[in-house]
Amino acid sequence: MYAQKNSFDDGVSLVRKIYNNTEKLLHSISNTKTKTRACWIVVIAICFTAIYSLNRLTPIISDDFAYLFVYGEDGRITSIKDIIHSQINHYYMWGGRSVVHFIAQVLLMLPKYIADLLNTLVYISYISLIYMHIKGSAKNSIFLFLMINLGVWFLQPVLGDTVFWLTGSANYLWGTWLILLLLLPFRLYRGKISTPILQILYSICIFISGILAGWTNENTAAAMLVIIIGFFIYYRSHKWSIPVWAIAGFAGAVIGFIIMIAAPGNFVRAGETTTFSLYNLSYRLFMWTLTFFYYSGPLFLIALISVITFSRFSRGDKKDKMKLVLIYAVAAIVAVYAMLASPTFPRRALFGVVTFLIIAIGICLYNLDYKNVFLRQIRLVVVSVSLIAFSFTFYLGWKEINSYSQIVAQREAVIKQAKEEGLDYCEFTRYNGNSYIHGEDPYSEVLMSRYYGIAIKLKD
C-alpha cells in the first residue's frame, strides 16, 4: 500500500515537473520574437505539409469525372472559355452554384500538383481567416492557431468530402473561404469611417466580393447574410455608423444569393423530388436536427462548456464578446435549418455550420483569463492530447487515402489492358469511402465510362 502511494506521488511529481518545464519553455518562446516567429513557421509548415500530402494522395473520384467535361456535353474542358460555357449549361440544367463549380473545373483542368498546391494554400488561408474572425485585431496566439487546426481536423464530419476531394473542396472549402473573406472587414470594423475616395473603392471591391460570396453555397451563404445583419445590429449597439462599404457588401451578397437560388436548374431538379408539404417540412425539421446532433453533438457540447467557462473566467468586455459569439452561433443554426429547402442533408453540408461554431467557441476560449493557472493547465493538456490523437488519426487517414489511390492505379492498369484486348467492359468493386475520402456514387459508372472510354461496372 505504501509502495503504491509512493508510485502515485512520483507520477504526480513527474507530471508537475513536465508541466513546469513546459510553462518555462512557452514563456521563453513568447518573450523572444525570433523564437515566436520560428514557432509560427514550424506550425504552419507542418499544417501545410500534412494537408498537401493528403491532397496529393487523393485521386479524382465521383463528380470529378463529370466536371472534367463541359456540363451536359461530351467534350473535355480545355480552356476558361469551355468552363464558362459549361457553367452556363450547369446553371440552366442542374443548379446555381456557378462560382464554386467554376473553381472546381479550373482545378480539374490544371495539372494535379498545382491544383493540390492551390487547394492546400486555400485551406491554410481558411484556417487563418477563422483565426482572424476569432481574435479580431487583438494579439496573436499560436495556441489559438493550433486549436483551430485541431478543431477543424476532429470536428468537421467529412474532411475527405470537403477538403481533399477536389469538387467537394471547391463547393465547401473554397466557398466558405470566400464567405469568411467577405465577412472579415465586418468583423474588424470599429466605427472608424474612411475618406470618401476610400469608401468608394472599398464599396466597389466589397460589392463584387459580396456577389461572389453570395453565389457559393445555399445554406452557408444564407448564414452569411444573417451574420452581416448581426454585425449591423452590433454596430448600432455601439452607436457606430454603418459604413457605405458594408451596405454595398450586403447588397452584393443578396444579389449573388438570389442569382444562385433562382437558377432554372434548381427548379428542374426540384421537379424530380417529392412535393413540398407540411408533412415533409416537419419530417425534415426532425431529421435535420437529428443529423446535426448526430454528427456535431460533441461540438455542441464543447460550445456549451466554452460559453459557461467564458461566463466565469472571461477577461475584457464580456458583454461585447458574447454579442460576437451570438452572431456566429445564430448563423450556425440558420445554416442547419436553411437545409429545410433541400430534400437531403449530406454530412458535407455541415462544413459551414461547424466553421461558424468553431469561431463562436474560439471567441470564448481566446478571451478567457489565462492568468488562471488551472485554465493554462487545461489548455496545455487539451492541446497536447489532441496533437497525440492527431498523429494517430493522420496516419489512419493517410493509410485509407493511399489504399484507394493504389486501387485506382490497379484499376487503370486493368482498363488499359482491357482496351488493348478489345474487351467491352471492366468490372470493379464499388468503393464506399470514409471520413477521409469520398466514395463512389450510384452514377459513378456512367461518369467513369465516359472518362476512360470503356464501359465500367461497379458491383456492391
Q: What is the pLDDT of residues 245-294, one digit of tens each?
A: 999 999 999 999 999 999 998 887 765 555 678 888 999 999 999 999 99
pLDDT of 193: 83
Across 168-182, 267-281, 398-412, least confident range: 267-281
Q: What is the pLDDT of residues 317-364, one digit of tens each?
A: 899 999 999 999 999 999 999 999 888 899 999 999 999 999 999 999
- Provide mean pLDDT across the span 241-247: 96
The grid cell for 311 is 461566463
- Provide mean pLDDT across the span 434-452: 92
Whole-number average pLDDT of the chain: 92
Classify the phi-psi angles of 394: left when phi > 0, otherwise alpha if psi is within -120 to 50, otherwise beta.
alpha
The CA distance from 112 to 169, in Å, is: 14
The CA distance from 182 to 129, in Å, is: 10
The CA distance from 335 to 22, in Å, is: 40
Confidence of residue 445 (pLDDT cuts 50, 70, 90): very high
- Provide mean pLDDT across the span 192-212: 93
Domain boundaries, the chain: 379-459
Confidence of residue 434 (pLDDT cuts 50, 70, 90): confident
Which residues make Cβ contacts (< 8 Å) with residue 54, sequence separation at least 6?
Answer: 164, 397, 398, 401, 436
Phi, psi of 61 (to 5 degrees): -155, 150
Residue 451: CB atoms within 10 A of its CB come to: 17
The CA distance from 130 to 127, in Å, is: 5
**pTM confidence score:** 0.94
pLDDT of 78: 96
Q: What is the pLDDT of residues 136-167, one digit of tens each?
A: 999 999 999 999 999 999 999 999 999 999 99
Residue type, 214: G
